[in-house]
Amino acid sequence: MKPLIAAFRPKTLTAALVPCCVGTSFAFAFQKSVNWWILGFGLVSAFSIQIATNLLNDAVDHLKGADQDDRKGPKRLIQSHGWTAKKVLWLGCGFLLMALLTGIPLVLRGGWPIVSLGILSLFLAYGYTGGPFPLAYLGLGDLFVILFFGLFAMQGMIYLQTFQLPFEGWILGLQIGLLATTLIAINNFRDSVEDARANKRTLAVRFGARFAKIEIVICASLPLVLGGSLISRGYLWAGLLPLILLPKVYSFCRDIWNSSPTPALNLMLGRSAQLHLLFGILQTVGFLVHEI
């Protein structure tokens, strides 16, 4: 059971959790009420899509030769626990089905905008690494994360609660999306040698280690700066509270800058997930305090 849970990549699941919680708390500050069942179904659907993406990514990367026995990251189910790529693919499809079923109440609530977003999310769960135009292999994985685990996830949750797409939602989505992108950017930086061998043209492979470090530093630090926009629009605490993380962000960026693509980056992956989660918690509290 432990290897199976590890295959879900629990450290990265903050990418599904944070936009749902921050979006809901903003909706509460925006209109003084929320529908909690939307948050519940949204969380289950978001977790299911991300776990499905992780599993399908593992299977396709193995089939394409990107994940082999010498990979620097944690060993996958296929590599060291006797699972076949076909079995992992079917498990991923099972989670896609769960996302589809738990998304039905959200579709009934939000209509065609949610239908469109849901279909695209389900399709790209496989298209991230599979299909004729795999995003991760073309260097578009980072943009995918900013869009789907940031802007679209945030505004999707806010729309389901308010039936509006306020400007603040785009700022929040960009903040959360950038922090989520640090996860994939660190992963790509760590695996750049193996990815280049498998012709997986991530940004780290295309532009090198220095570019990868700059990208990670920007994605980790820019969300704090963007908080000023929230402050200017009257959401003081949602903009200020995340600044508590400034020392952590500084030490994180310093250590990334002094890193090389080795297994030691697995620890940085955990620190990145922690920053993402803490940022989301502080912002959620900031919006809730706004109404006290």
HEC per residue, the chain: CHHHHHHCCHHHHHHHHHHHHHHHHHHHHHHCCCCHHHHHHHHHHHHHHHHHHHHHHHHHHHHHCCCCCCCCCCCCHHHHCCCCHHHHHHHHHHHHHHHHHHHHHHHHHHCHHHHHHHHHHHHHHHHCCCCCCCCHHHCCHHHHHHHHHHHHHHHHHHHHHHCCCCHHHHHHHHHHHHHHHHHHHHHHHHCHHHHHHCCCCCHHHHHCHHHHHHHHHHHHHHHHHHHHHHHHCCCHHHHHHHHHHHHHHHHHHHHHHCCCCCCCHHHHHHHHHHHHHHHHHHHHHHHHHHCC
pLDDT band at 178 (very low <50, low <70, confident <90, very high): very high
> Tens of pLDDT along 63-115?
766 555 555 555 566 655 567 778 888 888 899 999 999 999 999 999 999 99
Could you give the percent of the chain with pLDDT greater than 70?
91
If you average pLDDT over residues 148-169, what whole number do you get? 95
Question: Tell me, what's the pLDDT at 195?
Answer: 87
pLDDT interval class at 278 (50, 70, 90) = very high
- pLDDT for 20 equals 96
Residue 154 predicted with pLDDT over 70 = yes
Average model confidence (pLDDT) for the chain?
Answer: 89
- Go through the domains of the chain in sequence order and give each one's CATH number: 2-290 (1.10.600)
The residue that leads in pLDDT, 161 or 32, is 161
Q: Does the pLDDT at position 226 exceed 80?
A: yes
Q: For position 75, what pLDDT does the model report?
A: 59
User: What is the per-residue pLDDT for 72?
Assistant: 53
Band of the pLDDT at 283, cuts 50, 70, 90?
A: very high
